[in-house]
Structure formats: C-alpha cells, structure tokens
Structure 1
C-alpha cells in the first residue's frame, strides 16, 4: 500500500513526518550497539574493596597502611586487613542488581541490533535502568560506610590495628577519619562516572534517533512525492545492493527499508516539497542550496515552501546550524524574505539560536553559540520592528520540538520492559535447570 504524502507546507508538520517515518521504519540505520553494557562491571571493578584501595592512608610511621599491615604480617595485621575487606563486601541485593543490569543491557543491545526497537526506545530504557542501578549502588555505598565505621568501634579490631601498627587511640582515630573520608570521596566520584557514562550513551542514542528522524522523513517524503528523487534513490539503493549482496532494501509488512543506506549528502537531485528544482553548490561544509523568486509572480506561500525545503534538506544532511543569504535590490522586500527565511528554518527544526540571516551582505540575525556553556549570544536586527513575530516563531519552534521529542523518545518502552523481563525470567529458569542437584 502506497503512503500518500502532502505536497504543500503541511508536509512539514510533525504528524506528516511521523507518517513518513513509520512507513520507512525499517530504514533506520544500525546503531552500532550500546557502549554501556559493561558499565556496572566497570564501576564494580573500580570501587574500594580492600585495604589496598586506601592508597593515601598512612600508618603512623609514614608507610602506606596496606603495605604496613602486609609487612608486619602478624595474625593481628592479617585479621585486621581481612576485616576491612569484609566490611566492603558486596551485599546480595547489590549482586542481584548488578546481574540484572548486565542481563538487561546485554539483551537490550541484542534487540537494538536486531532492529526490533528504536534508538529512542533504547535510550529511554537506559535512563530508567540507570536510576534503578544508582539506587542499588547508593544502598551498597551506605552499607560500606556504615560497616567501616562500625568496624572501628569493635574492641577486637581496634586492638588488632593498634598492635599491628604500634599506634595510639588518637592515631587510630585519625586513620579511621581519613579512611571514611577517602571512601566517601571515591564512592561519589565513581558513581558520578557511572551515571555520566550511561547518560552520555543515552544522549548519543537520542541524538542519533533525532538525526534519523530528519533523514528518513526528508528522504521518504521526496521518494514518495517526486519521480526524479525516487529514481535517484532507487538507483543508489541498487548500487548499494550490488556492492554488498547481503543488503536487502525492499518493502515489507513492517515498513520499507528502501532508505536504509541512502545518504542525503550523496544526492544530486534537489527539489522542494512541491517538486520545484533547487540549485546546489559547493561540497561538504560548503554545500549550499539556492533559488530565485520572481518579483511579481512569487506568492508568500511559495517563498515559505521553498525556504522551508532548503532548510529541511540541510537538516537531513546533518547540519546543526543554517545561514541564509538574501539578496534583493529592494531592501524592504529583502528584509521580509529574510524574516520568512528565519520562520522557515524554525519550521524545519532549526533552533532560534542556530540560525543566521544576512541581507545584502549585512548580518541582521546572528548567533554565536557556545557549545560548552550551551548558550548563544544572539544579535538581532531583523525583528527589532516586530518582536511579536519573533516571539511567535520561537513559540512555534518550542511546540514542534516538544512534539518531536515525545515521538523520538519512543512509545514502546513498556513493551520493551516487558520483553526484557521475560528474557530475564527465561535466563533464570535456564540457570536453575543447569544447576547441579545434590542428593541420590
């Protein structure tokens, strides 16, 4: 069944893009897998788990505490060191949480690589898995601090330490204070690393998901609405299959994968939403699209359609920012087209702080974006005479961004969680069946 698409400005609406995206859902590029499947294991291997972990804690004679206890080598020293290890042991709840996390993310990775769920579904689940794991880790960390503190309250341990180290009560108290502080500092640092790693991986998946949204919705619309574009995409798909016979790019009941290996930057056909040819120039970062508007016969609708189409293609190519250069001998007309260019970029998904507009060589709207600070310094001379129009455009972007985000983050999280739970239950049953049985 052929999906019908709009060939006017309504084609840019989120609902229309979702329709096209879902038609070509099997065209999603492989994610390459998750980078965080080993996150919990990495955290666990880096946590303080024995006296050797306290490398900055010194005995009264200046030697490292761990080296001092090892050098002394008496039963008191050995028992004291073992008691510290015992205080930092993993609880059963922590072990179970780690095992569940590892199982879930391994299965999630397999499901993602199989194309069963979207990048957004995976990223959303990862953030939930992170929160569950963090709760388990924090409970374990609290237990470790409590156990270590209580250990120094035990008379047997205090006697063993003082005998092995030849230290006073005051010196032992100083050792306890430093060990407790070092443990807390390390716990906080390692937990932050764990959280950041998962959050970064999830954000990378969301970013990939967003770029796939732009790529597929753009290519899909042009494929379904323009003969020349369809022919070029079919040719590119055939060439890809010829180079790699294992590739399959055909329609199926779950959507078409025709666009899976199509890179918008390789296109030589450039058309607007309505099918009007756009002129291309430059390559790579210097790539540009251009058009001309007849002074007497060009309607506002055509201007919006053309400028939005230009912005949409640049977005599909992976551009984060866009610069429009408007040239016209009539300054008033040029400025009005410039305002439409800004609004068109907004409609196509560019944030207000990622848009630059030049009119007859003069910068009327520019944005200097600081990637680290995630802020932009905007110099606006374009809308000084019409601030309400600017505000309306910004509110339109915000609404569109919220709609896209809700769609991109996926709506199959519940289904995904249920499948992961089922896979985990089956794995547990398999373990039970494989476990050796005692008795005759």
Structure 2
C-alpha cells in the first residue's frame, strides 16, 4: 500500500466523520430543545413557543436528512476503505452497528409523525412522538460511541493469528470505560447544539433588541447550554482518569509527557518536539497531572518513553487538539457561571449586550470542542485502528488511487454544507421583525 493512499484513506474517513458528527449532534440535541419548547407552549399558551417548536422540528428534519446521507456514506466507507477491520472484526462489534440502525429508523418514523401529525393527532401523542425522536437520537449516539470505545479498549474476544475467537458480542459492545465516553459524547452533542442555538439568537437580539421571539428562544437554549457546560468538565475528568489507567500513551501524547515521572506536571500550551523529546513554551503546573490523573500529587504517570517509538501517537497534533478542547470547554464553563450568577441575581435570564456578545462569541465553541475532542480520541489511538490488536495500515484497502474519492466526497460535502447553511438561514430569517410567520396557537396545544 502506498503511503499516500493510506493518508488519503485516513483523510477521507476523518473528513466524513468530522462533517457527520455536526449533524449527528444536532439530530440528538434539537429534538430535546423542540420538546422543551412544546412543553413551554403547553404551560404558557404562548404562540411564540409553538412557532419555536415548529422551527426546531424543521431544522431537525433538515439536519437529520443530511446526517442520514453522510452516515450512509460512512457505512460504505467503513467497508470499502477498511475491509480488513470490518471483515475480521465485524462479527465482534456488529451488534451496536445493528442497534444503531434500529434507533435511526425509529427516529425517522417518529420525526415524520411529529412533523406531519401536528393538529392531526392528539396533543399527548404528538408530544410523545417528539420525546421518542429525542430518545432515539440519543440511542443512536450511544451505540455508535460503543463502537469507538471498543476500538480504543478492545474486549469480548481472544485475538489469534487466524482472527478473533471466543467472541462475546455483548462484552465487546460494553468494553471497559464505556460509561465515561458515552456520557462525555452525549454531553458534547447537547452542549454544542445549545451553544450554537444560543449564539444565533444572541446575534439576532444584538441587531434587533426588541425581537421577543428570539428572547424566548434564548431562554430555551440557555439552561441546556449552562448545565452541559458545567457538567462536561466533570465528565471529561472522569474520562481522563480512565485514559490515564487504560490508555496511558494517549494521555502522555495529550500532555506532551515524554518521560515517566512521579509528581508529573500539568503542561498548559506548548509545542511538543518528538525529536528532542521536550515540550517547549508550555506553562507547567507542578504535580498537576498526577493530581488530575490519579488524585495523588506523587503518583507516577507513564510517559511516551514507556512505549516503542513506532507506537507513539502524533504527539504535536494530539496535544494541540487536547489544549483546544480544554480551552474551549473552560471558556464555555466560565460563561455559564457568569450567566447563571446573573440569572440568580436578577431572577431572569440576562439580556445585556455584554452577555449577548459573550454568547455570540462562544456560540461556535461547542462544535470546536467537540471536533477537537474527537481528534484527540482518534489521533491518540494511532497507529492502531483497534488498539494493540490491528494497525491502521494493516486494515486499509489495497485499492490504489484513493485521491479520487477523497476529492469527490470533499466537493459533495461542501455542497451539502452550503445547502444546509442556506436552508437554516431561511428558517431564522422567517422569525426576524417584519418577517414573522402567523402565530396562531394550534388546537393541539
């Protein structure tokens, strides 16, 4: 296999996943926001919340459709680009793939009922369909994340030169540490979508301070954004503790730790250099990494020196992605604390321009942190596609000229992304002052 073809295969898979994860996250979080809007409409009788739930339902449908297309492409890419992985270990990890497909179809069915059943079915059944959309979306993310957990910490089989034996699909599906990564992933989906929604409505309110619809929409997004922003660092810390125990090479790369140390420092920023085995320009917090990883200031943390050189992850990329994730998460948590303090102090969600600017600027950070965290997970596992069992280079297809599908799919994704932006902008524009849609409260509510 030519090295460039391996690079193109990895780049195509990475681009496809980076594109898909945005729409998958929205498909998980927007239905919950949609249901919360419906519940608010039921409680208050306010037509603005009915309009918001309609808008969120249409947005969910748009993003769900694009997510379905990109997810279908991914399923083909798994088989076509990585035939050795799927051919050898498909029987081991096929169960969560099958269950994810079931959750996907369930979500599609109930989304159809929710979209077209308004005013046609009893209001309780309509709300139930919305709840099922939200639960099915979360279930899809749950099962897909279990596959990634298996790739990072394989279990449920005995590896042999001829392939896996003693296969236990349930044990493989629930590989060690599954609970930490699942919680971290689901929170990232809700957080990124809520922050994006808050940022959009903050932008409108900065330009149109009297837009009451967007003020109410912000009041739906802010609670989810603040809660997830505060829970996510706790979930991330638990996940990091598990990685320190079970995937020490990944932690060492994320922290740029080349030498095994007792009382290892926590390095903030800096540029790891694999040749000199040092991390330059970083700010070191004495014994910080030992405390965070093992809750013991004198605990030993394994460095990259404990692993063969050809099993090191790409240290610079993992470290920079990790710092970006932590930095974005810290900024969002700080904004959440400020917002909740003002909410407690004034007994209402803050509407001042400074706070709105904060939410506008932090709006994209949820997606940034989610993408960076995914890169840490994937880059940190290299050079393995299944850690310690199968190398990425051994799983790739022998078919040459992979540059052609890479550039083809890149153009397809650019087109799909442009169409999504266009459609979502039209959805938001329909709620601007002077462009309001009719807001009669539906009989279903």
Query: Given the two structures, how large is their TM-score scaled by the length of structure 2?
Result: 0.25
Which of structures 1 and 2 has the bigger CA Rg?
1
Query: Given the two structures, how large is their TM-score scaled by the length of structure 1?
Result: 0.25
Say which structure is richer in helix.
Answer: 2
